[in-house]
């Protein structure tokens, strides 16, 4: 895994060995950030279920001002710290080493986030739990773009009842990205 573009372009990133995290492949990450590039300049980015931090680090490398990383796995948090230090991006980052629901509550009162990315473990309903919190969060408004990486069969038919709308969907072979905004 590596940084695709920006100030840390081509720098290799560490990951946890095994299947504890699912790093987003370089090809999918490149496709995602081609769609997000116009949001990156001076953006505040939130990376939930960060794993090794590859998505948030890519955002920082491409011009985001700040990224908050949310990850509860202690081994993954150490990898995020090492990757941020190696890419010299640690001064624009903050890591919340706790579960997503606790971290999201701790973020209450923070400045608005421009982009929120989440890649929860598939098929456990965690994206729905996170969206339950985000719908009322002070750091999310109609301009905040929320991107969820999910399995192909993850149901998002509830979005409207939560006050969200899907603005785009990008399907890959084994998963998809859903782009969401407050309605």
| Per-residue pLDDT tens digits for 13-50 | 988 876 556 677 778 888 899 899 888 899 999 999 99
With 0-12 / 13-18 / 19 or more C-beta atoms within 10 angstroms meaning exposed / middle / buried, residue 153 is: exposed
pTM value? 0.93
- The domain containing residue 57 runs over which residues? 40-182
State the Cα torsion 86-87-90-93 to the nearest 10°: -130
CATH code of the domain covering residue 44: 3.40.50.150
Per the domain annotation, does 159 fall within a domain? yes
d(Cα 15, Cα 27) in Å, to the nearest integer? Answer: 17
- Structural domain includes residue 90: yes
Q: Is 57 a member of any domain?
A: yes
The pairing of strands 115-118 and 44-48 is parallel
pLDDT digits (tens, 9 = 90+) for 47-69: 999 999 999 999 999 999 999 99
Residue 125 burial (10 A CB sphere; 0-12, 13-18, 19+): exposed
Give the count of domains, the chain: 1
Is position 6 within any domain?
Answer: no
């Amino acid at each position: 895994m590596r940084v695709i573009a920006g100030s840390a372009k081509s720098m290799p990133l560490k990951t946890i060995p095994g299947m504890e995290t699912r790093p987003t492949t370089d090809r999918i990450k490149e496709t995602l950030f081609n769609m997000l590039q116009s949001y990156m300049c001076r953006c505040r980015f939130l990376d939930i279920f960060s794993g090794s931090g590859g998505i948030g680090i890519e955002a920082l490398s491409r011009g985001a001002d700040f990224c908050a990383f949310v990850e509860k796995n202690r081994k993954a948090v150490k990898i995020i710290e090492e990757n941020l230090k190696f890419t010299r991006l640690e001064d624009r980052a903050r890591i919340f080493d706790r579960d997503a629901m606790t971290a999201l509550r701790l973020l209450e009162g923070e400045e608005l986030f421009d982009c929120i990315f989440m890649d929860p473990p598939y098929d456990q309903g965690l994206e729905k739990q996170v969206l339950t919190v985000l719908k009322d969060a002070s750091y999310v408004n109609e301009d905040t773009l929320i991107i969820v990486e999910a399995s192909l069969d993850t149901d998002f038919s509830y979005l409207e009842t939560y006050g969200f709308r899907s603005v785009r969907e990008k399907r890959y072979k084994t998963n998809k990205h859903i782009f969401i905004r407050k309605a």
